[in-house]
Structures are given as structure tokens and as C-alpha cells.
Structure 1
């Protein structure tokens, strides 16, 4: 039977994802190179070399560049997941991409496409919970209009793909819990393996699956046999798929997996982070580090809705609301577990995290789903109003609408520096208390400014941190060759993104700055 409403929903959905894809294809060339991208490129190539040595050693003589890649056995970051990094290395080799600029532009494009798929699965996940395509699509819009997440969807090839795979894992988990079968167990095992092989923290997926299965059995003992059978199938599928997709585990799956898990608990990074106006060792962070970073970098309305949604969920759980269905109970409980277990683990284990809360970006989908619960319940409350029902709904629509427009305006106005978004802080409050462009992406725009101003055949410069050099590699080769990194005493220009140096510099001739919300994220000083 024809349904005009159904057709409209499909057209709006198609339009949204079409516009998102077009935006991504248009914007991906604009971002710089971060601290991590060379390391991640190397990690993928190391695993590729391992595969070549194992299955096609004759290719080593045909591809000379592979000889300079370190072996997997001695590589310092061999324990890093390669779900995304290895396929990219393979694609780079198959396509015959050799220039640095093409290499990193391809990485940025593929990273965005993985995020794009993640947004679609977020739509499916939200639709499972709210049974309303409009609410699900609004959730996707909120996810995309989260400035930091959107920016990092182009260059953060670990944390953002991990977020996407966790969304997929949560979706297949909900499908499995609704209808345990070989099919749902199989797809859940695949998504869990992809997540674990990206970041070891993905082990939270099978853990939460086990918790939900136990609770489902407790609440309905008649399902005992079905859940036990297919949960066993899921575990039997998960282990071999996980190992198969991660070459590092092949030679000694159990011991190496345990080693990776231990390394996650105390990652080998011993630098400081700038937090609350102090340089704090990443090995000794205060308990509130993650919660504070999450709140100050998430649009304020999303956070307000989250706390409202959390209140409604906890009230229903502890009041044993008989009106709540099994599916909604499982879904909301899963969101609570996905959000709070990782935060609690970081706090209790005193884990090493840095660069804001990017290592926990994967909890953001649960945060937003709880925010949607808050919005849904506020909307339902307005139906209980008689005289003021219309005004209540107008207020809600206006509040959310203004928040979305504000986020979009910030993203457009400050492109491509959405990664330094703060929800309610600006100016000195940011400069004096928190890291700014810790990725070092803004160096690209600084280098491009110098190219426009200086026609010298050789441009001598110095920079505060490695991305000042790394970002030359996303420039066309003829421009990259003009830059020469020299000691400060010989440099014509000095560039800084203020990481590990939040204060001012003693150089009087500041010729260029990039500012976002009245705080600097890059300065260029002409020294001579």
C-alpha cells in the first residue's frame, strides 16, 4: 500500500546522506596532517610487508620501498590494531600511489567514508530504539554537527573508525538480542572483530553482550537454551575472525592478545598534557579529565539533553517500570554500559589518555542516544500539558534548532579547524587552561600562507613541534621542496601551534595568526 509519509521519509533520508557524501568529497582535501598519521601509515606498511614475506616473497624484489619498512617482529607499534591501516596500505600499493600528497589525501578520503558508513549504522541503531525515522535522522544530524567529531572524521584513522565499528557492533548486538540466530551471531562476531582489531578496547563489545545475555536469561528463563546456544556460536566465530584479521596475532594468538591488552592499560606515552592551567603527566591524570573534556567539547544542548535522558533511564530502571519493553530495557542498559564502563575503567586503572578525550570517542554514540532519550521524553511531557502544550514544543524545537544552527555556523566559519571547538569556553579561558590544536593540523595553513608571501627558492623555517614538518608532505611536491627545516638561529620564520607552550613567545614580528573564538591556534613569527 502506497504511503506518502514513508516515501517522504525515504527521500529525506536519501537527501541527508547524499548531502553528507557530497560535503565529505568536497572537504576532505582541506585538512592538514596530524601528529599520528606517519606512524599509522608505517604501522599499516609493516603488516603489509609481513603478509608479502609470508605469501608472496617474490614481490619484495619488485617493490623496493618495502625493503625500508621494518619487520613486524621488531616494530615498536606492532601491537596496534590494523583493521583500517592494513587495507589502506594494500590499497595504496594496488593503486600505485607514490607521492606523499596523494597518499595522505587518500587516507583522509577513506577515513571519511568509514565515518559515513558509521553514521548510517547510527541511523539504523537509533531507529531500532525510537521506532521513528525522524528521530533517528535527527540523531544522525546531531552526530554530524558535532564539530570535533566531524573534523576528525577526515584524518583520525584510529579513533573515528573505532567509533564507527562500535556503532556497528552496538547495532548488531541489539539485533542479536532481539532475535538470537546463527545469522545475527555471525554478523555480530564480524563487527566485534573489526572493533577489537582497531582498538583493543573493543573487547567491551563481547563483555556487554555477555551481560545482556545473562540479564535476558534472568528476566525470561524460557529463553535460556536459545541465548546460550547462539551466544556460544558468537564466541566460537569471534575468536577466529578476530585473529584472522590481525596478522600480529597469528604466531601466538593468546599470549600476544594478552600483551596487547596489558599495553592498553598503561600505554607507553610519558609526556604531559595541558589541563586546567597545568602541565599534567599523562600517566597521572585526575579522575575528572575525561568527563570535563567530554562536556566542554560537546555542544551544550546535547549535554543538557544527555543528563535529562540519563535521569529518565535510571528512573525507569530502578523503579522497575512495568511499561518498559524488554527491547527498550536492553537498549538503554546497553547505552549505560557502553558509556560508563570505559570511563570507569580509565579512572580506576589510571590509564594513559591524551589529546583531550579522543581515545574515548567511541562512547559518543551512546552519549547521543541517551540525549535523544532525553529529547523524546521532554517531547512526550509536552503532550501532558494542556494550555501550554504548543509553547512547550515550540521551545524544544527552537532550542534544538538553535543548537544545530550554531554548530553548523561554527563549522562553516572555522573550516577546517572544527577540531578546536569548545562548547562554552573562548578566548583566554581556553588559552590558559586547555590544549588547543594538539594535532598540529593548522601548520598546513601556516605553510600555505608563507608560500603566498615568500617567493624564495628555499624557505628556511623552524617550528615548535613535528607537525610543522609533517604538513609539508600534504603540499604539492614542488612546494614541499622549497621548505627547509633549520635551527632557530638560521630560520626566517618560526611557526607554533602552542602545544606544550601555552604562553607567549618573545618574538615581536608576528605576521600571521589563526584564531578560533578569540583564542590562537597558530602563530607565525618572522625572525629576520
Structure 2
């Protein structure tokens, strides 16, 4: 049972998180995909309104969802954001409508944290401080925290994957039809976000079927649950996925097929190597996780994974994979977090820009880290508590000194040569907001300066500056006529060429979170 002191601590933690999130909301810039995702949402919304016979002003140019390149993606979040934007009448103010999206992003992140806390309570009901500790660990994860504001795709899968993971464990504990229906609804939302959430669906069915052969829970009722759950999940997905309203089966099959055959001809940068996105090595995802996660979390996750293997081995010798609900939680979380990584490696899936495609497995790794902490705390209570306390304090300090660029956080295993030439850094381009805001504030009121943008995120951040600053800067496509060059060094080859050509001779603003160069604005010779 939770005491009053613990309830108060949980309330204070989430209240503090709400206040912090709201106050830093505007510090995060506009990411590369946000404008594209916004358009996706409007196209789906227009299609849904047409099918429902609702008159409203359509997007210009008017796209046909049935021929739209990204029709196979679920758009529940983007549709919701577009509806709020239209109802508030702010569709012509980029600063406001992107702010709305960042606010929704962070609100969903808070919901995911709440579900993660409840999921940990299912496993440690007798140790109420463990769930709070695990939730703090997930919160103090620099890259995940930053993506919770500006990532309109991968972040959403993480959110709904956590929610569905919680509803799965809750169902496994209570085994009621209402819990199964709740889990099916959560699964439908996750599937509507990204199709890799099929792992949740397969895992649920696999567990129910496995129990029929191991003597865990046999009977007509469990078989009926296993058969009805995937059907209900897919049926609940359709209302939130307008593209599937017609010719549902063939379009659903087409969506699964396209997701599995996705191709991208770009390159990733890891340890100084340019790696084709369609041919990433087996170590790619594990390496990114290890170098961008606090070191103690990584070690604790490994311990938790080994403990899961040990418990599973003991159970396997008795013809099972788990012996009780606690070890079933360990096994399930291991499968939902490590399983997708193994699948991606075996299938040779296309991956790009760090490990953002796999962020959804991270909460499961934190779950295993808490399992590892519980193990070490039983053996060395003061030492384990001290090490984790220091880790949390140092990580919190790092998040402050990186702010608002936690998305380029690296742990202390990485040092040495300039990271911008060895790793994908601010590939989202979110740092442009800080750089352009600082530049705009330096321009006298009533005057205008021109900026040559290296890529699209620069232009989008330029358009979405707060209204008082927006008129002070203007995008200029011709470098010979621009006052400044703005770049996020997304390509190390381009960066080297720029430096060789002397374009960085006159730095005006350079963004260096924790001393790492990620972005800069430079005065061009044409302005001298």
C-alpha cells in the first residue's frame, strides 16, 4: 500500500514535470518532419471530412489521400492537431500551430510516463518507491526528453507502445474481458501510430497461446481471448485510420507491405563511418543506445536482462518460460524491448538518423534497468543506492547544460575528436530556433537581415519565429546576396567543404551544447 508521503512525492514529481515542460516548451525548435507531418494530417482530415459529408475549407493544394504517397501511415495525432489548429483559427501562424503540436507531444509524453509508473506498480506493489524511481530514470533520459517536444513520429510510437505495454501487463494480471478490451484499444492506437506496434499484437497472442501448452492457463475462455483480441484491435484501428475506410483489407495489406519494404538512399554517420541506411551493420542500433544512454542505465539494463535469462532458464527446465507474474513481467518486457532490435538486425531493416526509429523500445530497457537495480540493491544496498543517486544527479545536470539540445547528448564513453565529424548530430535542425532567435534579437528594430539556409528546417524555423522577431530576418536563396549563412552541419563532407572554402571565417553565432558544435550562423563575404 502507498503511504501519504509516497502519494505526495508522486504528485509533486508529476506537477514539477508539468511546470518544467510548459516553461521550456518554446525553447525547442521545429524539426525537419513537422511541416510534412502537418500536411499529412490535413490531407487525412480533408479525406475524412469528404467521406463523412462535412463541409470545411480544404488544404491548398488539394491532395487526394487515395493517391497520396504517405497514405499508408496512420494519422490520428496529426488529425487531432489539425482539428485543434483549425478550431483555434491559427492555421496562418506557424509559431502558434507548431507550439500546439509541441504541447500535445509533451502531454502525450506525460501520459506515457503515468502509464509507465502504473506498469511498474504492477510488478512492485510492495515497494512503492521503485515505480517512482523507474519513472524518474525514464524522465532523466536526455535524448528521449528532447524528442518528447518536437518529434512528430517516433515519439508517438514510444508513447502508445508504453501505453499498450502497460495494458498488456494489466490484462495478464487481472485476466478480465474489460482489461482485454482496454488493451485492444491501446493496441489499435499504437498500430495507428506506426505499424511496428504489431509486435504488441503478436506478443499478446503468443503469450495466450503458449499458456495453452504449458499448463499456465488452459481453457475455452483463454482461447477465445486469443482469437478475439487481434480482430478487435484491427477493427478499433480503422475508425482512426481514414485511408482504411474503403477497400479495407487490400489497403491494410498494402500498408503492411510498404512498411516492410521501405527504402531510403541516404547515409548515416557513426564513429566517423558513412553507413548506407539500407545496409546498416548489426552493431548499429546497440552502439547508438550504448553511447547515448547514461552509462549506469546501460549496465543496469544488462543486469536486468541477465536476470530475466536466469529466471527463464529455471522456468524452462520446468517446461515454462516464467514461474509467476513477476518473472512473466520480466520476460514480456525483455521481448518487447530486445525483440524488436533483434528483428531489425535479422531483417536488415532500413534505419537512419541515429536510433530514433527504435526509441519505442527504450522504456522497456529502463524497466529492465530497474530489475537490475533491484538485484544489486539486494546484494549491496548502500552502494547500489549511492551509484544510482549520483547517476540521476549527474544526468539531470547534463540535461541542464545541454538544454535545449538534449537530442545531441552523448554519455561519457564518447570524447576526443569533434563529434560533428563522427556522428549524426542535430539532423532534425531543431537548434535553428535558438540560433535564429539570437540573430534576430541582434538586428535593430525596423531593420531586416537576410539568411541563406543550408536546408529546409532553417527556413521552417525562420518562418515560425515569434511574431515580434519574424520581420527582422528573411530567407535568401542566393548566397551571393545574403548577409548570413545558417547551417546545422548535417553532412560532415559539406562541413569540411564549407570550412575549406572559408565560409566559416566570420562566425556570428555558434551553438555548442556541452562544448559540442552542432550549428552555426556565419557572416558571408557578400555582407562585408
TM range (shorter): over 0.9
Within 5 Å, give how 1:294-333 maps onto structure 2.
294-320=289-315, 325-333=323-331
After TM superposition, give the deviation of residue 278 of structure 1 in Å.
2.2
After TM superposition, give the deviation of residue 26 of structure 1 in Å.
1.1
Q: Matches of 2:54 and 2:336 in 1, distance apart? A: 43
After TM superposition, give the deviation of residue 214 of structure 1 in Å.
2.1
Instruction: Give the structure 2 partner of residue 223 of structure 1.
Output: 218
1:111 pairs with one of 95, 105, 113: 105
Unaligned runs of 5+ in 1: 383-392
After TM superposition, give the deviation of residue 325 of structure 1 in Å.
4.2
1:125 and 2:122 aligned: no
Displaced runs of 4 or more, over 6 A: 321-324
Within 5 Å, give how 1:10-89 maps onto structure 2.
10-59=7-56, 63=57, 66-89=59-82
Instruction: Note closer, same or farther for the CA distance 1:67–1:469 as it changes in structure 2 (3 Å cut).
Output: closer
Per mean C-alpha deviation after superposition, the further-off stretch among 369-378 and 494-503 is: 494-503
1:394 and 2:392 aligned: no
Unaligned runs of 5+ in 2: none
Instruction: Give the structure 1 partner of residue 373 of structure 2.
Output: 375
Q: Matches of 2:159 and 2:29 in 1, distance apart? A: 22
1:440 and 2:429 aligned: yes
After TM superposition, give the deviation of residue 164 of structure 1 in Å.
1.4
Per mean C-alpha deviation after superposition, the further-off stretch among 107-116 and 255-264 is: 255-264
SS in 2 for 1:462: strand
Q: Matches of 1:465 and 1:512 in 2, distance apart? A: 17
Instruction: Give the structure 1 partner of residue 483 of structure 2.
Output: 492
TM-score normalized by structure 1?
A: 0.93
Q: Matches of 1:222 and 1:118 in 2, distance apart? A: 30
Q: Matches of 2:293 and 2:140 in 1, distance apart? A: 10
1:322-341: CA deviation from partner (whole Å, max 9, x where unpaired)? 89742122211111211222
- Whether the aligned pair in 2 keeps the contact of 1:42 and 1:69 (CA below 8 Å) is no
1:283-336: CA deviation from partner (whole Å, max 9, x where unpaired)? 111111111111111111000101111111111211338897421222111112
2:5 pairs with one of 4, 8, 15: 8
Instruction: Note closer, same or farther for the CA distance 1:288–1:36 as it changes in structure 2 (3 Å cut).
Output: same
Q: Matches of 1:501 and 1:459 in 2, distance apart? A: 27
Instruction: Give the structure 2 partner of residue 385 of structure 1.
Output: none
1:199 and 2:194 aligned: yes
Q: Matches of 1:159 and 1:222 in 2, distance apart? A: 35
Q: Matches of 2:462 and 2:423 in 1, distance apart? A: 27
SS in 2 for 1:440: coil
Per mean C-alpha deviation after superposition, the further-off stretch among 268-277 and 303-312 is: 268-277
After TM superposition, give the deviation of residue 81 of structure 1 in Å.
1.6
CA RMSD in angstroms, aligned pairs only: 1.9
Q: Matches of 2:249 and 2:238 in 1, distance apart? A: 10
Instruction: Note closer, same or farther for the CA distance 1:403–1:121 as it changes in structure 2 (3 Å cut).
Output: same
Instruction: Give the structure 1 partner of residue 393 of structure 2.
Output: 405
2:178 pairs with one of 152, 177, 183: 183
TM-score normalized by structure 2?
A: 0.93
- Whether the aligned pair in 2 keeps the contact of 1:176 and 1:185 (CA below 8 Å) is yes
After TM superposition, give the deviation of residue 395 of structure 1 in Å.
1.8
Q: Matches of 2:38 and 2:249 in 1, distance apart? A: 26
Instruction: Note closer, same or farther for the CA distance 1:170–1:446 as it changes in structure 2 (3 Å cut).
Output: same
Q: Matches of 2:294 and 2:62 in 1, distance apart? A: 42
Instruction: Give the structure 2 partner of residue 211 of structure 1.
Output: 206
Q: Matches of 1:281 and 1:47 in 2, distance apart? A: 32
SS in 2 for 1:223: coil
1:264 and 2:259 aligned: yes
- Whether the aligned pair in 1 keeps the contact of 2:119 and 2:170 (CA below 8 Å) is no
After TM superposition, give the deviation of residue 367 of structure 1 in Å.
0.5
After TM superposition, give the deviation of residue 183 of structure 1 in Å.
0.3
Instruction: Give the structure 1 partner of residue 451 of structure 2.
Output: 461
